[in-house]
A = this chain, B = another copy of it.
Amino acid sequence: MKTYTVGVVGATGAVGKEMVLCLHDRKFPLSTLRLFASQRSAGKRVDTPYGEKEIELFSPEKAAQCDIVLMAVSGSFSKEFAPQIAEKGAIVIDNSSAFRYNDDIPLVVPEVNADMAKGAKLIANPNCTTAILTVVLWPLHKSFGVKKCIISTYQATSGAGQEAMDELEEQTRKILNGEHFEPQNFARPIAFNLIPRIDSMQDNGYCREEMKVVKETHKIFNDNSILISCTAVRIPTFRAHAEAVTIETEKEITSQMAWDVLAEAPGVEVIDDPESFDLPMPLTATKKYNVEVGRVRQNLVFGKNGLDFFICGDQLLKGAALNAVQIAELLIHSSPKSSILKKE
């Protein structure tokens, strides 16, 4: 079997670390793993499932020596370096928002639009909330035609990085001990609180996270006609995002019809025994590849053409690292070997 040199840029972050774990867990045909980070982490040695590895100081030249580069860095960093790396011949899968709305660059959720990845040298990984949503929404859209979609999110601190997760723990301890603290990663305390805004505000009164869900779902589904509205809320959980979703469909839909479709959908796990409290929740969705869906019920507002459901998926996995590794898997299975391997 052919094997590949894979680079992870931003290897010390929450998403970067999960990318390494996903590559190993999914037995990605990897010959060499190279880990890149900024000056602050360069030279450190870290434990990985591939053994102890040294973090290299990032440069586009070094990253471009890899066959495939997974980037888990800021949008501005990706914007500067991802095209350079791709131009030099490596395939880049970028987790930032830098290229998601560029018409020339595919935005891929493998369960939805795998074909879009074919032949691309730079591929964008969607926003976490969108990735988790689309894997469940797509099979329903294919079967019933989604006309309207209203989403309220329950987002974990992991979406703001490892430091934000650490801060949730630290704030919580301090509140329980009656100690003073100043919020660092969020504008307001998050422990025992919620914050109903994520990312910057847009002119239409929505915040950027909410508009990402709208715009990215349109692009991934290649269908701008679906009316989508989202309310993005940060809650004090660590790493799985949940979403309450209401849809109106073209065709009539029942909960049984939805369960039948979702039971066959890739990347989806129906957990829907409310009587027993077996339902999607961060407790069970954390560290799970599949997105959990439950509370499936015919909707009281849209009637026979409406459905309510609740989903929960790991923000660091399907919402980031797993989706990126799945894209890499697509590429090595769908592309002629020579188009990826630079050193053959």
Contacts and interface: CB of A to CB of B under 8 A. Distances in A.
Interface in A258-281: 274-275, 277, 279-281
A194 B301 contact: no
The A contact surface, by secondary structure, is: mixed
Contacts of A196: 242, 244, 279-281, 294-295, 310
A197 B277 contact: yes
Copies in the complex: 2
A65 interface: no
Interface in A56-95: none
Interface string A231-247: 10101111000101010
Contacts of A255: 205
Interface in A179-195: 187-189, 192-195
A233 B242 CA distance: 10
Given A192-B237, A205-B296, A231-B310, 15 more contacts: A148-B301, A168-B192, A188-B277, A193-B282, A194-B282, A195-B277, A196-B295, A204-B298, A205-B308, A229-B300, A229-B301, A231-B246, A231-B308, A233-B310, A236-B237
Interface string A208-252: 000000100000000000011101010111100010101000000
A242 to B, nearest CB: 6
Contacts of A306: 229
Contacts of A169: 176
A115 to B, nearest CB: 28
A296 B196 CA distance: 11
A207 interface: yes
Interface residues of A, number: 57
A113 interface: no
12 contacts: A149-B301, A152-B152, A154-B194, A176-B176, A189-B283, A193-B281, A195-B279, A196-B310, A204-B300, A206-B297, A214-B300, A231-B244
A116 interface: no
A150 interface: yes
A261 to B, nearest CB: 16
Nearest to A151: B152
